[in-house]
Amino acid sequence: MSPKHQTCVVAAAIVDRLDRPARLLAARRTAPPALAGQWELPGGKTEPGEAPADALLRELREELGVRVRLGAQITGPLDGHWPLASALTLRLWWAEIVDGEPMPLQDHDQIRWLEAGRWLDVAWIPADRTAVSEMVRRAGGPCVHR
């Protein structure tokens, strides 16, 4: 692996509409045991030489069977990234599905659309709960758009 390559975790806040998000897609992990049963924003790790946005499009195709359009990045406190429990960090983008119906094909056993005002209603992985709380706060309160 080139010394320049750094694995990064990329994930998407998939919403019904980028211009007026109301519903947010959460996915329940099946592995590893420490994270199984907890909910996350779908995504995965970049591969060597792969651009982060390309990795995210690939992961969403593989895991959920959808093609998405990426919106703005949702910046976190570490140079724009969000801290994870591991040594890795997470980069997060808004996204909207442009093709396909999301299904838990790989790595997840359930997906759920969270309605406006209920984005914190699942047992998120702690790092994701922090990010989703901040998304709600930036959107101006618990309701987002109804």
Binding site for ligand 8DG (CB under 6 A): 9, 11, 35, 40-41, 43-45, 59, 84, 86, 88, 90, 107, 125, 127-128
Q: How far is CA 113 from CA 26, 58, 89, in A?
A: 6, 21, 25
Cβ distance to ligand 8DG smaller for residue 120 or 146? 120
Q: How far is the CB of 11 from ligand 8DG (least distance, A)?
A: 4
**Integer Cα distance of 137 and 6 in angstroms:** 30
Q: How far is the CB of 81 from ligand 8DG (least distance, A)?
A: 12
Q: Which helix (H) or strand (E) holds 25?
A: strand 24-29
Cβ distance to ligand 8DG smaller for residue 48 or 142? 48
Q: How far is the CB of 105 from ligand 8DG (least distance, A)?
A: 12
Q: Which residue is nearest to ligand 8DG (CB)?
A: 44
Tokens 């994270």 sit on residue:
35
**Integer Cα distance of 119 and 135 in angstroms:** 9
